Chain A
Amino acid sequence: MEVPEQNKRRKEDQVNLLEIKNLHVTVAGCEILKGIDLEVNAGEVHSIMGPNGSGKSTLAQVLARRETFQVTAGEIVFGGKDLLAMKAEEAACEGVFMAFQYPVEIPGIGNTYFLRSALNAIRKYRGQEEMDAMDFLPMFRERLKLLEMDEKLMNRSVNEGFSGGEKKRNEILQMAVLEPKLAILDETDSGLDIDALRIVAKGVNAMRSSDRAVLVVTHYQRLLNHIVPDFVHVLVDGRIVRSGGPELALELEEKGYGWIEGEARPTASVPA
């Protein structure tokens, strides 16, 4: 971790939102994350880049508290609370949102109904009053406009019959409605054409604010032209091997991951 580099870019008054310390994660006995350290402040956009199989999606899903992953060491503090003690729905209610790489279809459940149920579950958790359809709709329509989505699409079942691009836009729409504190984009750019990419980026950028952080997980620099990150971290073989500013993404694009993987290898023998 190049902490001094990070600190240079940070403003004094920013609030620490997420702190990952020495995170080790295994799936089916195989260690995927081998000691991740990462600090994310409110207001920042971080990008996690790395080659296939480096553990990017695992990191995203552990943050979203998917139970298939076993955390063997380390800790994650989110908003001052122990994230690893939370179940997926608690993490969601505390403000963690993940845009899925492969959004799931729920036959028979309308999009609008689903999203309002989710919003109300979160509001209830926070002790807020549930939102009725009359209050929900105007806000919802505004977000639909932001994502340039047809309201008719919302009468369909969740993600059913959606094109790949529509599904990804739907993820960002959900994010815009649920207004999380930490938004994780898990390879949202994969399978998107240029127009859809621009729309998705517009949606994410509209949500950038001083009390929200965004974690963009991606293979390619392409998305980062539209969502410009404050920090870029390169994940190789379960470790963050380099951190820097947006220029790091450009460098990677030019030189490929092989350039950094070479540097990663010597440290791979350090015991966890």
Chain B
Amino acid sequence: MSTNVNTIRNLAERDYKWGFVTEIEDERVPKGLNEEIIRVISAKKSEPEFMLEWRLKAYRHWVSLEKTQAEPRWANVKYSPIDYQDIVYYSAPKQKPALGSLDELDPEILRTYEKLGIPLAEQKMLAGVAVDAVFDSVSVATTFKEKLAELGVIFCSFSEAVQKHPELVQKYLGSVVPYTDNFFATLNAAVFTDGSFVYVPKDVRCPLELSTYFRINAAETGQFERTLIIADEGASVSYLEGCTAPIRDANQLHAAVVELVALDNAQIKYSTVQNWYPGDKQGRGGIYNFVTKRGKCAGMNSKISWTQVETGSAITWKYPSCILQGDNSVGEFYSVALTNNYQQADTGTKMIHIGKNTSSTIVSKGISAGHGQNTYRGMVKILKGARGARNYTQCDSLLIGDKCGAHTFPYIEVKNSTARMEHEASTSKIGEDQLFYLQQRGLKTEDAVSMIVNGFCKQVFRELPMEFAVEAQKLLGVSLEGSVG
């Protein structure tokens, strides 16, 4: 029995291979948070007045929240208090980020992205993915911009959008996640430094997968990016984000906000492969991933689909949600969350049914290994006017070993009697019998474990764009290093 356990342990204890640091000069503001810092950030980005005002309103609100200790404590995660004055809120590679072409980018950063396997160079057009890369606080390169522009698709850094499309930013910023939404979203609204912006015009199907790659490089910094995606009437877009960070002893805060807006007959598919540094085997270091993601199906027949594969971060606190406002709109949430060693995840979704005949699907797969704690928290809310609403929820947990935990907190609130709700849940353990069966057929323990886990996650993986599905499978294998017993 022990060989199995050991092999799996070895497997689970493989090292985080994205943990390198890029030596590059950065430009940062002093540690701490006050109105002055926010003015500096806004000035550095040459923002119009409305942005600074919005940031300051958010900051003042956040100060009041902090005074009343409104940092959320209800999540099923444990961590020592965060000192918000000990964080650097702006760090950028020391070089003017406004670049004419990729050739002007610091070669060190390019090399970093190459190491990470991101197709930044335009030659890699065949990959069919347009990438916006955010390095620490600043968006450093956006590929395929011109090609997309021909179709009227705007895909650029948030900073650029603020400069070039202020009317769109002003109209939609905070329309789904207001700056008062929650403690971390408020903090983000005050200090966010960059992120991606997408606008797909009427009746355009975006021909490329759009992708953002986030990387935290500098020490003692937080990363606060903000993404805003708008699909106009009849438009559709598929978007993917990936994330990595260097290995560091201290915890780093990542508090992002993502807002999606789908107008009539529009579709947005948003996929995440999150692989922030998870901390070491004893639970030291790692990223606090406190993220607010929400999409609004504002128009009729619109659809928003979230797919997430969460394997990294010391703590994940994240509930990609859908507000189903338009009649017949559809919300989907497909999730794989893996916690190994001392990782903790409290993740799930909210589906708010407002329009008639709205439907939502939730498929959540939680995998716990080592001492990992994995919580699914979901809310399905059917409002009074949501006649004919439907929800299907499936929530499965897989346990590897006997020191981890899986928890499920589903909330269901129905105010219209025509609603149809289904909820299925299961908890299973990778059994010795399953492992033995695969080994008896010649498969090595680690391959057997990875096969069982991948099978468990299949429903979610098949929602991912092809190349990312492959990536996600590999990532899961690596993240599981050393986990079955």
Contacts and interface: CB of A to CB of B under 8 A. Distances in A.
A104 B442 contact: no
A117 B431 CA distance: 20
Contacts of B445: 89
In this complex, the interface size class of chain B, counting residues with CB under 8 Å from chain A, is: 20 to 34
Contact of A103 (B432, B437, B444, B454): B437
Interface stretch (A51-59, A105-113, A262-270): A105-113
A92 to B, nearest CB: 4
B442 A92 contact: yes
B440 A117 contact: no
Given A92-B441, A92-B442, A118-B443, A107 B3 contact: no
Nearest to A106: B455
A136 interface: no
Given A107-B455, A108-B456, A108-B458, A121 B442 contact: yes
B438 A106 contact: yes
Contacts, number: 82
A144 B354 CA distance: 52
Contact of B457 (A89, A108, A118): A108
B383 interface: no
In this complex, the interface size class of chain A, counting residues with CB under 8 Å from chain B, is: 20 to 34
A220 interface: no
Contacts of A97: 440
A107 B433 contact: no
B447 interface: yes
A108 B439 CA distance: 18
A89 B437 contact: no
Contact of B3 (A87, A98, A178): A87
B439 A87 contact: yes
A174 interface: yes
Contacts of B451: 106, 109, 114, 117
A97 B437 CA distance: 10
A64 B458 CA distance: 29
A88 B452 contact: no
B426 to A, nearest CB: 10
B442 A122 contact: yes
A121 B432 contact: no
Interface string A45-69: 0000000000000000000111110
Given A68-B432, A92-B439, A174-B441, A121 B456 contact: no
Interface string B441-485: 111110110011011111100000000000000000000000000
A121 B440 CA distance: 11
Give the top 8 A-B pairs by smallest Cβ distance, nearest first. Answer: A108-B455, A108-B458, A118-B441, A88-B439, A109-B455, A104-B437, A92-B442, A122-B442
8 contacts: A65-B440, A67-B1, A68-B1, A88-B436, A103-B437, A106-B438, A117-B447, A121-B441
